Amino acid sequence: MIRNIVSHAITILSGLVWLVNGIYAKILNKVHRHEEIVRRILGKAYERPLILTIGILEVLMAIWIFSGIKSKLNVVCQITIVLTMNLLEFIFAKDLLLWGKWNALYALLFAVVLYINECHLKPKN
């Protein structure tokens, strides 16, 4: 029973991470650091349209997480996106990251929690 509660809480929290980052940080443009990162990697011409697209995709990721549909594929996608994004940011814009080089550790921990939740905590159907 406690495993189910913990698993459900992790699923909700991970969905909220994507939802808040998508809406607040990107769609509403309340965290300008994201545009600076995109500008540094791809150039100024792409920053706002790309940030808006990423925000919408993050909201869709949250909806997918909350739906529970194909959750293993979802977790693989989340882990791949988070680790790839953090690697690119670490290489091109380390100075713009919220926690600097520590961002990579937090991304890895997030990925590990997602994996453990999906493969070890979540009840088998």
Per-residue pLDDT reduced to its tens digit, 96-111: 998 888 899 999 999 9
| C-beta of residue 51 within 8 angstroms of C-beta of residue 38 | yes
| CA–CA distance, 15 with 97 (Å, rounded to integer) | 21
pTM value is 0.92
Q: What is the pLDDT of residues 52-72, one digit of tens each?
A: 999 999 999 999 999 999 999
Break the chain into its structural domains and give their ranges: 2-121
Q: How far apart are CA 88 and CA 37, in angstroms?
A: 10
Q: What is the tens place of the pLDDT at every residue in 13-66?
A: 999 999 999 999 999 999 999 899 999 888 888 899 999 999 999 999 999 999
Maximum distance among all alpha carbons in the chain?
A: 51
